[in-house]
Chains A and B, each alone.
Chain A
Amino acid sequence: METLVFGLLNGVSYGLLLFMLSSGLTLIFSMMGVLNFAHASFYMLGAYFAFTLSGISSFWIALFIAPVLVGLVGAVVERYGLRKVHANGHVAELLFTFGLAYLIEEVVKIVYGKTAVDYKIPDLLNFAAFQVYGASFPAYRLFIIVIAVGMLIGLWYLLKRTRAGLIIQAALTHPHMVGHLGHNVPLIFMMVFGIGCALAGLAGVMAGNIFVTDPAMAVQMGPIVFVVVVVGGIGSLEGAFVASLVIGLLQNLAVGINASFADIFGFIGLSELSEVGRISISSLAPVLPFLLLVLILIFRPQGLMGEKEL
């Protein structure tokens, strides 16, 4: 029972963090077709900017300013980099972001040093919200849940209920038509990229202090973001939301299962001592998302809630 409660609580908070990180990529990926390998680098930038800003002012100011700064960096990257590369196709765009990821990591190392910085949870939120079965649930994790849900609502409202959102959605499917109607499509793309990066930056602000803020944080988060976006389905914010939660829950609940393959498949004679039998479900937890990715792509290429196939 307690495993289930812990699994649910942590799964939701981790899943929502994943959603913050990947919602920006969903926007970028679905609108521009860009597999942005540097997306996690913007997440890292968010954490580092927040570290600097909370040093000179406070966490609460950083929470608002840092994502904006990251968004501006993103917009500049799109305007002077990606846009030029766009004509050479998706592989070129991808490689551009690949190189960008190296660049950002090395520049961060020069500016902030090669090792972790001391980016802390604000004192105001550094307490245990409640106790379950002897373990405390940190208030900061609740705060993450609140911010993520707020972000989801805000984003959903922006895209579905405002004029700007309508134009963005139209530019997604019919960029030429929108262009002919007199809208500045390149500007829309720049804004989408900027907003996407800002969302990654926000995730960085939120996650940098519960994880470790160091130059390797981008590399660690990189691949999982793609999993969320693809599993959720291209062009679907709701899909990304569901996928984040599914992956968060899957990973956290699987950790609680101690059964090994031998326990499950023992009836067909799988021995506890064989290499396959020895593997336990909990030790597999972190690779489950990738298994999910492959299975989804083979059996349901449009993702959980996607509107079109990749």
Chain B
Amino acid sequence: MTFRKTAILAAATSVMAMSAAYADTVKMAFIDPLSGPMGPSGEAAYTSFILAAEHINANGGVNGNEIEVTGYDNKINPKESLVQLQKAIDDGARYIFQGNGSSVAAALIEAVNKHNARNPGEEVIFFNYAAVTPAFTNELCSFWHFRFDAHADMKMAAITDWIAKRDDIKSVYLIGQDYVFGQAVASAAEEQLKEKRPDIEIVGNELHPLAKVKDFTPYIQKIISSGADAVITGNWGADMQLLMKAAAENGSDVPYLTFYGGSKGAVSSLGEGGVGLLYQVTEGITNLDADDEQYALIEEYKERFPDYDYYYHRAFNAMEMFVKAAEEAGSVDPIPVAKAMEGLTIDHAYGQATMRAEDHQMQQPLFISTVSDDVKYGVDNIELGWALVEGGTIDMASAEQPTTCEMERPE
């Protein structure tokens, strides 16, 4: 993409005065889909990293070095991602960002582990900003992998915590995509609900094939006739949008608690029908109370990238944590930075976040929000936006999950 080059150029010229002071460039590679059907979800995150890097560079960079984020289009294909990874490494990148698709993340974790073992002195760190399969910070955990998003079980803990507080919810319906992730979400929901609210009945546990269903109406009518008081789904992409559209159209009026309700276009495709229907769990939403600096950032993002909304707050967290770790380590080299990052805490706009040393899983407060027409910032360029629900703040400790990780660290 030439876009990234010009964006960096613009960033560079805007801080022309200080650019002479930079000692060197820290190259970071963003490997995610930037074209095709999944292109927009990659680009929304990519633009966030670009903006975060610009802000850091404007403040003097990291240890006097300039950050350069370069996009590599992996077409959301695991094999193609490995090709792009090699390109990124050869271009001098030592830090990799990726998030779309657990299949890609799994392939990259494997590849980074092998690369680092086979090429000592040339280590690469993988910053995972959105792939939420719990295994990545459990049995598959790696010293070279850091996750900035809450994983599926943590998000589920937030959802079940909220449900536990709601006495009016007596029965829950689970619907998800029929593959590892969807199955993991369903079993986590069952387990946690049993523990927190044994009286809740799970009236349905439905799995449908991934990205094959065109019309969710029959599923919705199953949900309605089951009499469920709430629905939990880990669906993403078209499966999430079509599910919600069918729910709104068929007059389902219970909360749909989703992981990915905040995806681009979901709110606008539902319109008013989404109010009180669509819920999501995230590490932050634009309509939370924050300082003016955060509001300015949200507005700057919207102005620069009018197609997208400020959604990837964790992209900014990841960058902030990287800068802090590099400053503590006094270096921008991967191993010292990775070691400094372990156990590091940052204060961000919506609370604190700590990188747990045992498994490299970010611990942070989570928020349950729903679509509302009474908000400061709308999404998808309409009036509707996300508002925190009552009791929707889940503190860091409640969302925390144990880990089975036994990490091997380099000397």
| A196→B268 CA distance, assembly (Å) | 31
Are A283 and B242 in contact, CB atoms less than 8 angstroms apart? no
Please encode chain A, from 105 to 135, with 1 for each CB lying within 8 Å of some chain B CB and 0 for all others: 0000000011110101100000010000111
Are B208 and A286 in contact, CB atoms less than 8 angstroms apart? yes
Are A120 and B43 in contact, CB atoms less than 8 angstroms apart? no
Contacts of A10 in B (CB 8 A): 215, 217-218, 221
Contacts of B211 in A (CB 8 A): 220
Are B250 and A210 in contact, CB atoms less than 8 angstroms apart? no
Are B222 and A256 in contact, CB atoms less than 8 angstroms apart? yes
B299 within 8 Å of A by Cβ? no
Are B40 and A135 in contact, CB atoms less than 8 angstroms apart? no
Are B251 and A212 in contact, CB atoms less than 8 angstroms apart? no
Contacts of A14 in B (CB 8 A): 214-215, 217
User: What is the minimal beta-carbon distance from B32 to any residue of chain A, in angstroms?
Assistant: 14
Please encode chain A, from 188 to 230, with 1 for each CB lying within 8 Å of some chain B CB and 0 for all others: 0000000000000000000000111011100111001000000
B219 within 8 Å of A by Cβ? yes
| A285→B252 CA distance, assembly (Å) | 22
A244 within 8 Å of B by Cβ? no
Are A135 and B250 in contact, CB atoms less than 8 angstroms apart? yes
Please encode chain A, from 1 to 43, with 1 for each CB lying within 8 Å of some chain B CB and 0 for all others: 0110011001000100100000000000000000000000000
User: What is the minimal beta-carbon distance from A259 to any residue of chain B, in angstroms?
Assistant: 13
Are A133 and B265 in contact, CB atoms less than 8 angstroms apart? no
Report how many residues on chain A are interfacial, defined by Cβ distance under 8 Å: 43
Q: Which of A255, A280, A283, A284 contacts B218 (CB 8 A)?
A: A255
Are B245 and A211 in contact, CB atoms less than 8 angstroms apart? yes
Are A115 and B225 in contact, CB atoms less than 8 angstroms apart? no
Are B218 and A287 in contact, CB atoms less than 8 angstroms apart? no
User: What is the minimal beta-carbon distance from A34 to any residue of chain B, in angstroms?
Assistant: 24
A186 within 8 Å of B by Cβ? no
Report how many residues on chain B are interfacial, defined by Cβ distance under 8 Å: 39
Q: Which of B213, B238, B271 contacts A118 (CB 8 A)?
A: B271
Q: Which of B209, B217, B238, B307 contacts A212 (CB 8 A)?
A: B238
Please encode chain B, from 239 to 275, with 1 for each CB lying within 8 Å of some chain A CB and 0 for all others: 0011001000111100000000000110011010000
A118-B268, A120-B271, A135-B251 known; A286+B209 contact, CB < 8 A: yes
Contacts of B121 in A (CB 8 A): none
Are A114 and B43 in contact, CB atoms less than 8 angstroms apart? yes
User: What is the minimal beta-carbon distance from B65 to any residue of chain A, in angstroms?
Assistant: 33
A179 within 8 Å of B by Cβ? no
26 contacting pairs across A/B (C-beta < 8 A): A6-B222, A6-B225, A14-B215, A14-B217, A17-B215, A115-B380, A116-B264, A133-B224, A133-B225, A134-B225, A140-B249, A211-B242, A211-B245, A212-B238, A215-B37, A216-B37, A221-B214, A251-B218, A252-B215, A252-B218, A255-B208, A256-B218, A282-B208, A286-B208, A287-B209, A287-B212
Nearest 10 CB-CB pairings of A with B: A116-B265, A286-B212, A216-B37, A136-B251, A255-B218, A135-B224, A6-B221, A114-B40, A252-B218, A115-B265
